Chain A
Amino acid sequence: DAGVIQSPRHEVTEMGQEVTLRCKPISGHDYLFWYRQTMMRGLELLIYFNNNVPIDDSGMPEDRFSAKMPNASFSTLKIQPSEPRDSAVYFCASSFYGGASMGGYTFGSGTRLTVV
């Protein structure tokens, strides 16, 4: 298995533009998570899905952020419009059964977003 695949690896965009981050989870995993990493807040959970259904989006910072999971093999995180304070590394992770036990999370390599 190729692991969790995220694209793009790097994204530089101008303030006000729409940004779409993509994630392909590991086949068979039924949970998908979007995290954001910043120096100030560490790894923050933004939203997670179970069987393609959003379960908890309380970590999404603002209405500018939205996430979808149209099928078991694909998810997107969209920021519209983007702002400089959105600059961070965004990680996608997937797991079985919520996966925290036995360290069952597998993270992608992340997307480094820079909004100028």
Chain B
Amino acid sequence: DQQVKQNSPSLSVQEGRISILNCDYTNSMFDYFLWYKKYPAEGPTFLISISSIKDKNEDGRFTVFLNKSAKHLSLHIVPSQPGDSAVYFCAASGRSGGSYIPTFGRGTSLIVHP
């Protein structure tokens, strides 16, 4: 059973517009959330994160929103650029056995058209 769900396998957006990638989780013990970005033939790289004590974290064009009551988070990219085309993985973690080991979703493939 998937504890972290990214229900949209793909998303297509025009350059300059907003991209919104969604993620839902089921485990109420999760208290830290991350987004990773992956280009073809490369490993995932860290993009942005948010702790459960916040509901928003912003880093340049990237903003992550967290709605704990709905167990939902989203990644907003504004404005979207062709170089943002990649697979985006949502991950969630909670302290277990003294360490935070995240659970990843299946990923959403974002295509930004020029």
Contacts and interface: CB of A to CB of B under 8 A. Distances in A.
A42 B107 contact: yes
B25 interface: no
A35 to B, nearest CB: 8
Contacts, number: 72
A48 B101 contact: yes
Interface string A85-116: 00000010100011111111111111000000
Contacts of B99: 31, 50, 97-98, 100
Contacts of A18: none
Nearest to A39: B106
Contact of A45 (B32, B45, B49, B103): B103
Contacts of A67: none
Given A31-B99, A45-B103, A97-B99, A102 B49 contact: yes
Given A100-B32, A100-B91, A103-B34, A43 B43 contact: no
Interface in B81-111: 89, 91, 93, 97-107
A102 B97 CA distance: 18
Contacts of B29: none
Interface string B6-48: 1000000000000000000000000010101000011111111
A100 B102 contact: yes
A79 interface: no
Nearest to B103: A45
B43 A100 contact: no
Interface of A: 4, 31, 33, 35, 39-45, 48, 50, 55-56, 91, 93, 97-110
Interface of B: 6, 32, 34, 36, 41-49, 89, 91, 93, 97-107
